[in-house]
Amino acid sequence: MRPELDSDAGRSSLACTLNSGCDCVQVLVSAVEVMSRRAGLSERDVNRVMLAVDELFANIGRHGYRGHEGQVEMVAVCDDTELRFELRDHAPPIEGLDALRVHEADGNGALRGGGLGLRLIDAIMDEVRHERLADGNRWVLIKRLKK
């Protein structure tokens, strides 16, 4: 794990690479907490965002790498409008949030069966995206900041 923190006027970023099969979750949660506080989130929202990113990291290890050790690259970026976490793994491409969505008549994407962790993440974050890559998965979690 090599955290790198970068900051300039109105924008902060942090990047690190973690092993999914080790005790890196504390490092991950600490990094998420630092970025969430820099974003000016309330104590409640700091804790919720930490929970969402932690849940995604656990899902990557459990479902993506199927309990085997693998690398997860995280980039966190905070600017004046949003706090964004991007997690990239090299596990076999999986069905993401879109596979769990049922597009209802009103256009809402309600979640269906299974995926309790993804339901939690989706409820906490303002936007959740998953991209299947040829050699893994890319997840983007966004929390919009109130001005």
Highest mean pLDDT among 20-29, 56-65, 82-91, 106-115: 82-91
Instruction: State pLDDT tens for residues 68-127.
Output: 999 999 999 999 999 999 999 999 998 655 555 544 444 555 555 557 888 899 999 999
- What is the sign of the dihedral through the CA atoms of 85, 31, 54 and 58? positive
27 touches 76 (CB < 8 A) = no
Kindly report the CATH number that applies to the domain delimited by 4-144: 3.30.565.10
E strands in 24-108: 71-78, 82-89, 101-103
Q: pLDDT value at position 138?
A: 96
Give the torsion through C-alpha atoms of 71, 10, 131, 49, to 10 deg: 70
**What's the rounded Cα separation, in Å, for the pair 80 and 130?**
24
Average pLDDT over every residue of 125-136: 95
Domain boundaries, the chain: 4-144
Question: Contact, 85 vs 141, CB < 8 A?
Answer: yes
pLDDT value, residue 116 = 84
What is the pLDDT averaged over residues 37-51?
97
Retrieve residue 47's tokens. 């804790």
Structure-model confidence comparison of residues 38 and 115, the more confident one: 38
Q: What pTM value is reported for the model?
A: 0.83
**Which residue bears the tokens 């459990």?**
62
